[in-house]
Amino acid sequence: NAGVMQNPRHLVRRRGQEARLRCSPMKGHSHVYWYRQLPEEGLKFMVYLQKENIIDESGMPKERFSAEFPKEGPSILRIQQVVRGDSAAYFCASSPEQENYGYTFGSGTRLTVV
Amino acid sequence: RKEVEQDPGPFNVPEGATVAFNCTYSNSASQSFFWYRQDCRKEPKLLMSVYSSGNEDGRFTAQLNRASQYISLLIRDSKLSDSATYLCVVNRRDSGYALNFGKGTSLLVTP
């Protein structure tokens, strides 16, 4: 049973480009969460999704950031017109429905904006 | 007040020592509590859940004090491999399964 799969592991973008980060949850998990970790900082909640639904996006910056979790395929975190301050590690986690025994995290995508 | 607060440390302890970390949380309605461990530049990994009655897993003991909104983690007989950042985690307000993470407490176990 594969764990949470994130790709790419490393992503380099120039300022103004778009970044697309992908996350495939563990098999049988229907809840996906995205977190951002800036250098030397803690994990900050961004968004919580279920299939085809955004449950809580209170941690998402108001502009340039969006997330989806379609019926088929991975969850996508999209950052438009990236800026240097977007450089961070982005972690995705998943959990099963109707359980709260903690999440399983993917290995993360390290985004560098140059 | 931050949702989850931890002393960042670092805690430098010799092998074999006992070390305790504390954490406070602001949401009195929180129902789920965890400790995670994060090694440098890696993903966080679940160490243990924290139950109201307190719970133990080998050398690790977690305690919850709901009245004081306080969580603790005790590590006995520290190993070099325990060196990591320990994250206190509490579920977010009104958001079911989504969790808030503290910034973490850094532990370095030395020979």
Give residue-wise pLDDT tens across range A14-59. Answer: 999 999 999 999 988 889 999 999 987 889 999 999 988 999 999 9
Share of residues in chain A with pLDDT > 90 (%)? 74
Q: Is the distance from CB of B21 to CB of B105 less than 8 angstroms?
A: yes
A100 pLDDT tier (thresholds 50, 70, 90): low
Q: What is the pLDDT of residues B20-40, one digit of tens each?
A: 999 999 988 888 899 999 998
pLDDT at A1 > cutoff 90 = no
Interface check for A24 against chain B (CB to CB < 8 A): the answer is: no
pLDDT at B96 > cutoff 80 = no
3-state secondary structure labels for all residues of chain A? CCCCEEECCEEEECCCCCEEEEEECCCCCCEEEEEEECCCCCEEEEEEEECCEEEECCCCCCCCEEEECCCCCCEEEEECCCCHHHCEEEEEEEECCCCCCCCEECCCEEEEEC
Q: What is the pLDDT of residues A66-77, one digit of tens each?
A: 999 999 999 999
* Amino acid B93: pLDDT: 67
Long-range contacts, stretch A82-86, CB < 8 angstroms, 24+ apart: A82/A13, A82/A14, A82/A15, A82/A16, A82/A17, A82/A18, A82/A19, A82/A111, A82/A113, A83/A15, A83/A113, A84/A15, A84/A113, A85/A113, A86/A19, A86/A111, A86/A113
Quote the mean pLDDT of chain B.
Answer: 92
Which residues from chain A sit within 8 angstroms of residue B29, using beta carbons? none
Q: Do B87 and A42 touch (CB under 8 A)?
A: yes
Interface check for B47 against chain A (CB to CB < 8 A): the answer is: no
pLDDT at B54 > cutoff 70 = yes
* Amino acid B95: pLDDT: 59
Q: Which of B32, B44, B104 sits opposite A100 (nearest CB)?
A: B32
* Amino acid B92: pLDDT: 79
Q: Is the distance from CB of B60 to CB of A69 less than 8 angstroms?
A: no
* Amino acid B21: pLDDT: 94
Q: Do A105 and B101 touch (CB under 8 A)?
A: no
Q: Do A43 and B101 touch (CB under 8 A)?
A: yes
Interface check for A89 against chain B (CB to CB < 8 A): the answer is: yes
Token output for B28: 């009195």
pLDDT at A8 > cutoff 70 = yes
Shortest CA distance from B46: residue in chain A: A102
Interface check for A95 against chain B (CB to CB < 8 A): the answer is: yes
Which residues from chain B sit within 8 angstroms of residue A45, using beta carbons? 92, 98-101
Q: Is the distance from CB of B44 to CB of A4 less than 8 angstroms?
A: no
